[in-house]
A and B are shown apart, each in its own frame.
Chain A
Amino acid sequence: MKTIIYTCPYVPAEWIAAHGLRPSRVMPAAVGSTGPLARVEGLCPFVHSFINEVLTILPQTDTCGVIVTTVCDQMRRAFDILVRRCDLPAFLMNVPHTWQSTAAQKMYVDELKRLSRFLIRLGGKPFSNDTLARVMLEYDDARASILAARSYLSARQYAQLIAAFGRDGPGMMLHSETGASLPIAGVPLAIVGGPMVRGDLDIFDIVEQSGGQIVLDAAETGERGLCPPFDRRRIRVNPLVELANAYFNGIPDASRRPNSELYNWLKREFLDRAVRGIIFRRYVWCDTWHAELGRLKDWIDLPVLDIDVGGDSQAHQHRVPNRIRSFLEMLL
């Protein structure tokens, strides 16, 4: 099956799958990896890694297209690099930053329709509402099973499960994970920030080894990036509208203007999970998240550990465990 790759959580996998194509959310292997695009001063390491992943590894697979969104300015400009240097057809989807107007919501729906035309040009098939509804329910069930699995998986396993869902879709994952609830074994922490790369999932182990436990994965690639459950009644009435509503209105992010919903969501989840400290993970040159650090510290009466991820993964590997250990010593 032809694969369409993307990384932004505002791209609904269901929409791609309904076209008979395989959606696959890319989580680059590591930051600072070498590739056709050299490191550039001022470029976010995640954007750099994503570009190199697309330019190198992915065109060798059955990938037939890439979707980039306007959620981040550097990713918007990464699209220009992909257009010029990559044979893979690329689509830049406008995801409005404002969200409180019907015009913004309509634009999101219109962009999904434009995306549909792109997917059809790549070999995707037009589909009925029933097909879309069926796919949505399938994904919804998978997401529900993932959320349920949080209680009996380690934080790392949970993050990997979410990543696998993004990469492979529901497939065999559905209802395959069961087990007894695990007790919270360390100081409950939240990780907050933009997307993670595969190599950075070690952070969950480091936290556990240092006496903590990530009880809330609020990274873009974690639980925060999953759209909320669909309203099944509304799916029957108009699946596209429900899909757009869930994705566009249901994923809180630092990039929204205003981004008050992110703070509402965090407040609720911090309380619900008795979070005692926050690991704020951001990429150097990611202005969107960087600017939230000071605000988060002003807003919440919890200790915040700032982990800035640059392009040098070796230095990062040495520095991060020490910082996390010190942070947890303070909390233990």
Chain B
Amino acid sequence: MPGQITLQEWDQRYEQLRKAGLHQPDYSGPLSRHVEDGDTRLLKLRYDNSAAALRLWNFLLTEEDRLHKARAEGKKLVGTMKDLGTIPVMAYSLDNLVAFYPDGAWWIPCVMELNTGLLKIADKLGIDESFCPVRAMLGAFLTGAHFPIPDLLTCSVGATCDDFSAIAQRLNGLGYPILWWEIPHRHPPEPDEAAVKLPGGFSAPKSQVEFVESQLQHIKTAFEDLSGQRLDEKKLSTGIKKANKVRTYLAELRQLAFTAPQCPMPALEMLIAEMLAIHFCSDRNETIVVLKGLLEEVKARVRAGIGFLSPDAARIFWVNPVADLQVMNLFEDCGGRICGTEYLFTHALDAIPQDLPPTEALAQMALADPMVGSSIDRASRICNDVRIFGAEALLISRIPGASHCALEGQIIGEIVRDKLNIPVVELEVPPLTDSIRPALRTRLEALVETVRARRKK
């Protein structure tokens, strides 16, 4: 039966599964071993009890090993900063490049419960708590303890958040070369401008797509120089097909997880699964296998009509990822169920067009990023998805210090209330929420109660 279990319970279950002949990849093992590496937050989380979820967690928590292994095998590492799902597709189209996401260090203060001193290093560099928790990345670069220093660093700038851009510039000033590329703010085409309908539904002028294409060409050349291989259309097209495999699995997974009568997969595992779309956790092929396993588990549960949470759980659409993973458990404890998400990268979940020249298709994807357009656009997509997944309320999770969070919540909240007449709550989630847990719980419970009260009217 599906259930949520603690780390200690997972160890016992791991032994049972192992003795029963469970086949797991070489990076598998009991989850508690990651605590010995310092991932102490794991002790406080509750996990899905399926073998598929075990594989997902082990895959996530062994990324650093994978990067070191890739380097030892002679592969080149590319750090794709401030890029949510476009440049990694290009990198993985070459067999000797491995892309990863240094910004992912923003979860280290949570997972390692501030034990690493990464934020203190950022403080010393003048990047204090007024910045987004992604500032932990600076410490990760300086200590070299959480990922190997990449052979090439790329970073998108322009229509991006100032926090990250400023932190990346600080990194650059410390002597880390960065290949910057420009992503312009997406604006609606003017009446006399040639327009392109982007994946996901937004529109942009053709000239903007062409501009981004030129930026991607620049990156492509850098990848060719680094890898010593030509990144031709055939390779890119193959890379896009593989990325679409990931996106197809995720789309199916999301559809089932958000709409099945009984919730088949907890919010925490779904968050981790969605995150794989950004850079494939440094192994695209294994990402496909991990997601396939998770999808099979979810399908089996849906077929059997089994799952989690009370049938009257409040159906909530969640905006922005949380800095503290434990909040996803707390949310469910309070009676909520995730029915739709917008974790900043919905474009990385949409299929990449396969009927276009590959660089043009990727340029369209980059421009479809909800964060490069207006918050009004973003709100409009959220409204659509709220309708599709049947959510009854919206929760906007503020990222502390993030430049986009100061104003976007107001705009998204106003538009969602106007268009859908559902309750909206905005709350801030720091990397560790232990000290504010009672307050968070109260607000989450209030939202759930509001949803339930509205059903009775």
A43 to B376, CA, bound (A): 18
Look across to chain A and name the residue whose beta carbon is closest to the beta carbon of B191.
A117
Shortest B168–chain A CB gap in Å is: 8
**Choice from B165, B403, B414 contacting A74 with Cβ under 8 Å:** B403
The answer to whether A101 and B170 touch across the interface, beta carbons within 8 angstroms, is: no
The answer, yes or no, to whether A84 is at the interface (CB within 8 Å) is yes
The answer, yes or no, to whether A232 is at the interface (CB within 8 Å) is no
Segment at the A interface, from B139-147, B174-182, B319-327: B174-182
The answer to whether A80 and B374 touch across the interface, beta carbons within 8 angstroms, is: yes
A76 to B162, CA, bound (A): 11
**Choice from B182, B211, B408 contacting A97 with Cβ under 8 Å:** B182
**Choice from A74, A97, A294 contacting B407 with Cβ under 8 Å:** A74
The answer to whether B127 and A294 touch across the interface, beta carbons within 8 angstroms, is: yes
The answer, yes or no, to whether B214 is at the interface (CB within 8 Å) is yes
A residues near B158, Cβ cutoff 8 Å: 70, 94, 96-98
Interface residues of B in 151-174 (CB under 8 A from A): 155, 157-163, 165-170, 172-173
A76 to B407, CA, bound (A): 10
B residues near A78, Cβ cutoff 8 Å: 407
A residues near B408, Cβ cutoff 8 Å: 77, 80
The answer to whether B403 and A258 touch across the interface, beta carbons within 8 angstroms, is: no
B residues near A76, Cβ cutoff 8 Å: 159, 185
Give 1 or 0 for each of A243-276: 1 = CB within 8 Å of chain B CB.
0000000000011011100000000000000000
Tell me whether A74 and B173 are in contact in the complex, defined as CB-CB below 8 angstroms, given that A97-B157, A293-B126 are known contacts.
no
Q: How many A-B residue pairs have CB under 8 A?
A: 147
Shortest B62–chain A CB gap in Å is: 32
Most buried by A among B163, B166, B215, B402: B166
The answer to whether A80 and B376 touch across the interface, beta carbons within 8 angstroms, is: yes
A78 to B403, CA, bound (A): 11
The answer, yes or no, to whether A122 is at the interface (CB within 8 Å) is no
A residues near B185, Cβ cutoff 8 Å: 70, 76, 92, 94
A283 to B126, CA, bound (A): 14
**Choice from B168, B170, B178, B375 contacting A295 with Cβ under 8 Å:** B170
B residues near A293, Cβ cutoff 8 Å: 126
A292 to B182, CA, bound (A): 21
Shortest A124–chain B CB gap in Å is: 15
A residues near B258, Cβ cutoff 8 Å: none
The answer to whether A285 and B190 touch across the interface, beta carbons within 8 angstroms, is: no
The answer to whether B401 and A84 touch across the interface, beta carbons within 8 angstroms, is: no
A294 to B142, CA, bound (A): 15
Interface residues of B in 86-128 (CB under 8 A from A): 125-127
Look across to chain A and name the residue whose beta carbon is closest to the beta carbon of B163.
A287
B residues near A284, Cβ cutoff 8 Å: 130
The answer to whether B401 and A258 touch across the interface, beta carbons within 8 angstroms, is: no
Tell me whether A257 and B165 are in contact in the complex, defined as CB-CB below 8 angstroms, given that A70-B184, A81-B411 are known contacts.
yes
Tell me whether A40 and B130 are in contact in the complex, defined as CB-CB below 8 angstroms, given that A94-B184, A97-B158, A103-B211 are known contacts.
no
The answer, yes or no, to whether A291 is at the interface (CB within 8 Å) is yes
The answer to whether B211 and A291 touch across the interface, beta carbons within 8 angstroms, is: no
**Choice from B169, B190, B411 contacting A117 with Cβ under 8 Å:** B190
A residues near B403, Cβ cutoff 8 Å: 42, 73-74, 77, 285, 287
Interface residues of A in 289-326 (CB under 8 A from B): 290-295, 297-299
A residues near B190, Cβ cutoff 8 Å: 114, 117
The answer, yes or no, to whether B421 is at the interface (CB within 8 Å) is no
The answer, yes or no, to whether A72 is at the interface (CB within 8 Å) is yes
Look across to chain A and name the residue whose beta carbon is closest to the beta carbon of B186.
A94
Chain A residues at the B interface, C-beta cutoff of 8 Å: 40-44, 70, 72-74, 76-81, 83-84, 92, 94, 96-98, 101, 103-104, 107, 110, 114, 117, 254-255, 257-259, 284-288, 290-295, 297-299
Instruction: Return the 5 tightest CB-CB contacts between A and B, nearest first.
Output: A294-B126, A291-B166, A42-B406, A43-B406, A287-B162
What are 16 A-B contacts with C-beta separation under 8 Å? A42-B403, A43-B407, A70-B159, A73-B160, A76-B159, A77-B374, A81-B410, A96-B158, A97-B165, A97-B182, A98-B180, A285-B406, A286-B162, A287-B130, A290-B127, A291-B169
Chain B residues at the A interface, C-beta cutoff of 8 Å: 125-127, 130-131, 155, 157-163, 165-170, 172-173, 178, 180-182, 184-185, 187, 190, 207, 211, 214-215, 218, 374-376, 398, 401-408, 410-411, 414
Q: Can you name 16 extra interface pairs (CB under 8 A) apart from A73-B161, A94-B184, A292-B169?
A: A40-B407, A73-B159, A73-B165, A77-B411, A80-B407, A94-B159, A97-B157, A97-B180, A104-B182, A107-B182, A257-B168, A258-B180, A259-B169, A287-B401, A297-B126, A298-B173
